[in-house]
Structure 1
Amino acid sequence: MKRRPRRSVPALLSAVVLLGLCVLVAVSAIQRLLGERAWISYDTVAATLHDLRWTDVATAVAGGVLALAGVVLLLAAILPGAATVLPLAGRFDSGVARGGYRTTLRTAAAGVDGVAAARVKLGRRRVKVCVDTARTRPDGLADAVRAAVADRLDRIGPATHPAVAVRVRAPRRTT
């Protein structure tokens, strides 16, 4: 079970831009039908578009921008995002939410003696843990954090066991 995120941000942006253009066209058409002065003059738009050539810089820039937007939307639709539910090992189709997974690993790292704060970054094959300590000599702290996080990973039982990378940030030595 690997649930993927919804692509709501690209869809929302596309919908808002298209809605804005549709509203603009509809308001201009209604104003033209009612005989009022339109926000956007149809005659001006038609004359400007008629005067454009395929070799003009404005046409090339507009085409490039639209092509880039299309490629970005296509890639957002095709490429998989980070899984929102990570699969667990076992017979049953079970999983753990990405946020809960990160929180429990951060709690395991922060529970090690000498750790003041911990941050966890989940990758596809690796878990990166960055811990802050007040110790001026953090010897062995990285190994203790790695062991605590590895133990927590063993208890969770993910389908793919990630490697654990630990970075310790300590204050500068005064000696």
Structure 2
Amino acid sequence: MSATQLRRRPSRGVPATLVALIVLAVSVLATTAAVTRLASSDWPSWATGPARAVAQQSWGATPVIAAAVVGVVLGVVLLLAALVPGRRSGVPVDLSVTNAEVSEVVITQRGVARLAAAAADEVDGVESVDVSVSTRLVRVEVVTASRSDVESVRSAVQASVEDRLDVLGSGPVCEVRTRVRSRES
């Protein structure tokens, strides 16, 4: 199994949509101008006016420099969006798969939260469970009706969740913090 953490690449939907819309708009305008030129043997005025204004600018003009800076910043942002890996999306599971040359089994953070919630829910005295998972921490919040056994419920939930998550690998997936509140009677 590889020593590197599994990282997913986020969909990058917003940058991809923006680039696609800009390319589509430029393509529609260029096609419309070309068809108009072929049909009437003259470029449309909406295309020649801006083209003339751009042609009259010098390289050192403020609008040209501003457009260049905006283009460079936008290009760097889109390049970083494509190259920088996203946040960790799964926890590696120490499981060997037969009939596989190279395999890596992972469980999502949502799956870890569900496993932790199921383990906590099985403990006697637990009425409700709320679990949140980050890359390094599993937070388990439990509500119990018992006021006197809060510490014993907390230790039982802590042990149950840690035992359940230890099954995923050779050691703890991440730190488990448990908090127990007693329900007001």
Q: Which TM-score bucket, shorter chain as reference?
A: 0.5 to 0.7
Task: Report 1:21-170 matches (<5 A).
Answer: 21-35=26-40, 38=44, 41-53=46-58, 54-56=60-62, 58-92=63-97, 93-98=103-108, 99-112=110-123, 113-114=125-126, 116-123=128-135, 126-129=136-139, 131=141, 133=143, 139-140=150-151, 143-157=155-169, 161-166=173-178
CA RMSD of aligned residues (A): 3.8
CA contact (8 A) 2:119 2:160 kept: yes
Q: Which runs of 5+ in 2 are unaligned?
A: 98-102
TM-score (norm 1): 0.68
Which structure's CA Rg is the greater one?
2
Q: What's the offset of the Cα at 1:59?
A: 3.5
- Is 1:11 the counterpart of 2:16? The answer is yes
Q: Which moved more, 1:94-103 or 1:138-147?
A: 138-147
Does the residue aligned with 1:101 lie in a helix, a strand or coil?
A: helix
1:9-58 superposed Cα distances (whole Å, 9 cap, x missing partner): 133442233223222222232223323995x71211112213444341x4
For these two proteins, the number of residue pairs brought into alignment is 169
CA contact (8 A) 1:4 1:83 kept: yes
Q: Distance in 1 between matches of 2:57 and 2:117?
A: 59
Q: Which runs of 5+ in 1 are unaligned?
A: none
Amino acid at match of 1:133: V
Amino acid at match of 1:116: S
Q: Distance in 2 between matches of 1:7 and 1:29?
A: 35
Instruction: Say if 1:121 and 1:25 are closer, same or farther in 2 by CA, change over 3 A.
Output: farther
